[in-house]
Amino acid sequence: MTFTQFQDTALQALYDAYAAQLPAKLKAIDDLWARVAADGDGKAVQSLHQALHSLAGSGGTFGYTQLGKSANALELAIAVSLDGVTLPRGALGPLVPLLEELRHAATNPDSPASGGETGQGGIGKPP
């Protein structure tokens, strides 16, 4: 095995691991969303914001450019709605379409036909 083949194999393993973790990350976001919607739990708001921030940063790096963009849009919308550390009652309602977009984006990685690069300064996908 050449070094390039090794790199490609290692990168593919990273992409696969990221994809395998997405359902759990989305479940955590859904759970936090429910807690925030139910009672505006300040700790849950901060955790939701952080989870979205993490996806916004990692999505493009691992071949999920739209996921990163969707997470960023939700993160920013929540940040704008924050009143200190809580969200005003009903603040999440208008954001549900963005949450649906996030869920959809998590099932649609970038197409390898797009040249393999993520377009956000991420590492290139193995061929």
* The predicted structure's pLDDT at residue 40: 77
pTM exceeding the 0.85 threshold for the entire prediction: no
Domain ranges of the chain: 10-109
CATH number of the domain at 10-109, please? 1.20.120
Inter-CA distances, 110 with 22, 66, 117, Å: 15, 8, 9
* The predicted structure's pLDDT at residue 114: 42
Q: Which amino acid, residue 32?
A: L
pLDDT tens, residue order, the chain (127 aa): 898 988 889 989 999 999 999 999 999 999 999 998 888 778 888 899 999 999 999 999 999 999 999 999 999 998 887 766 677 778 889 999 999 999 999 999 997 544 444 444 444 544 3
Q: In whole angstroms, what separates CA 28 from the centre of its chain? A: 11
Sign of CA dihedral 79, 60, 57, 121: negative
CB 78 within 8 A of CB 52: yes
Q: What is the 3-state secondary structure (H, E, C) of the chain?
A: CCHHHHHHHHHHHHHHHHHHHHHHHHHHHHHHHHHHHHHCCHHHHHHHHHHHHHHHHHCCCCCCHHHHHHHHHHHHHHHHHCECCECCCCCCHHHHHHHHHHHHHHCCCCCHHHCCCCCCCCCCCCC
Q: Which amino acid, residue 104?
A: H
